[in-house]
Amino acid sequence: MKRIAVLTSGGDAPGMNAAIRSVVRTALHHGLSVFGVSRGYLGLMNGEIQEMDTRSVGDIVQRAGTILRSARSERFKTEEGQREALFQLEKFGIEGLVVIGGDGSFRGAKCLSDLGVPTIGIPASIDNDVACTDLAIGFDTATNTAVDAITKIRDTASSHGRVNVIEVMGRTTGFLALAAGLAGGAEHILIPEVEFDLDDICDKILSGYRRGKTHNIIVVAEGVGGYRDPGQGFGHSAGFEVGRTLQEKTGLETRVTVLGYIQRGGTPTAQDRILASRFGLRAVELLMAGRAARVVGITRGEIMDYDISYAVSQKKTINLDDYRLSEMLT
């Protein structure tokens, strides 16, 4: 293995740059040539590929987003699109590929592996919904961003005795909502994985109110109830639907805050930068060892790697103990 490439794909996540930097610099350290692919699979099909050196990744460890940019491509899901990508990889003499992204990006990586390109996936998603890893790059930063917002909203919620609904990201999963709600001391956390009864929540809010409780923080994952307008975000929102219902049923003044894209930006936390750096090294080592079709992950503090077909066939499950804990604590 002499020439490898790296790309970022799907929703960006804080710490992706730290992962790119690690892939590039550890590969250079081991004497490999490294190429950066712009705009994910879209750029790969178009041949948007440039050689990188150690300076190409200077001053980015602290920056969110991705210097390689990201994209989503329907065309790449077709065999034709994948053959175009393969053609470009062969044209540039690239023998191995590192894909930094989420679950969908790994499905794409598996397709390239099936076509004979040694491909390694590095999990990066603020949703943290990637199987075979306790943590994906970006989750810690996004959780801290959400907790910071909840903490600020609590201040004003107490002053006015209002119910405050806070919608966090998570199109199909509640990992971010659960972590942020638990750390932020939310009274209720609504996630797609756990059934809830709004009437019951209203009763609890009213009984707390009668006991003199000054605030009620309800954290809602955007994927709850299927309100989100996929790919647009202009239509319904789970947070507003829940807020409207709670206000109608309790009669208490209710405010809704949709945190949105601020959760995708912001300086990556030390944990995300370290995780990204460690993932990058393992991905390069796997390619150098002739391993293909793997995804890296962290399990109980240890960097691991797993078969990509296995990884994309698994569904990551929520920690129900944490959910129960959040209920006990409030």
The interface region with ligand F6P, picked from 39-47, 58-66, 75-83, 167-175 by CB under 6 A, is 167-175
* Binding status of residue 9 toward ligand ADP by CB under 6 A: yes
3-state SS, residue 11:
coil
Q: Which of ligand F6P, ligand ADP, none lies near 25, with the C-beta cut-off 5 to 8 A by kind?
A: none
Residues 61, 137: Cα–Cα separation, whole Å: 13
Catalytic entry in 12, 53, 59, 127: 127
The interface region with ligand F6P, picked from 42-50, 165-173, 281-289, 297-305 by CB under 6 A, is 165-173
Strands (E), the chain: 3-8, 33-37, 49-52, 96-101, 119-123, 163-168, 188-190, 216-221, 254-258, 294-299, 302-307
Residues 78, 91: Cα–Cα separation, whole Å: 20
* Binding status of residue 219 toward ligand F6P by CB under 6 A: no
**Among the listed residues 256, 253, 232, 229, the one whose alpha carbon sits nearest the alpha carbon of residue 242:** 256
* Binding status of residue 66 toward ligand ADP by CB under 6 A: no
> Does 127 qualify as catalytic in the annotation?
yes
Q: Which of ligand ADP, ligand F6P, none lies near 41, with the C-beta cut-off 5 to 8 A by kind?
A: ligand ADP
- List Cβ neighbours of 98 (8 Å cut-off, separation of 6 or more): 4, 5, 6, 7, 23, 119, 120, 121, 122, 280, 283, 284, 287
* Binding status of residue 125 toward ligand F6P by CB under 6 A: yes
Looking only at Cα atoms, what is the longest distance across the chain?
71
CB of 293 to ligand ADP, least distance (A): 14
Q: Please pick, from the candidates 36, 43, 101, 184, the single residue that binds ligand ADP as defined by CB under 6 A.
A: 101
Closest residue by beta carbon to ligand F6P: 11
* Binding status of residue 297 toward ligand ADP by CB under 6 A: no
Q: Which strand (E) or helix (H) includes residue 107?
A: helix 103-114
Q: What are phi and psi of 222, to 5 degrees?
A: -60, -25
CB of 228 to ligand F6P, least distance (A): 7
Q: Please pick, from the candidates 171, 255, 278, 316, the single residue that binds ligand F6P as defined by CB under 6 A.
A: 171
If phi over 0 gives left and psi between -120 and 50 gives alpha, with beta otherwise, what is residue 328? alpha
* Binding status of residue 169 toward ligand F6P by CB under 6 A: yes
Number of residues that bind ligand F6P (CB under 6 A): 10
Q: Which residues are catalytically annotated? A: 127
Interacting residues toward ligand F6P by CB under 6 A: 11, 125-127, 169-171, 222, 231, 264
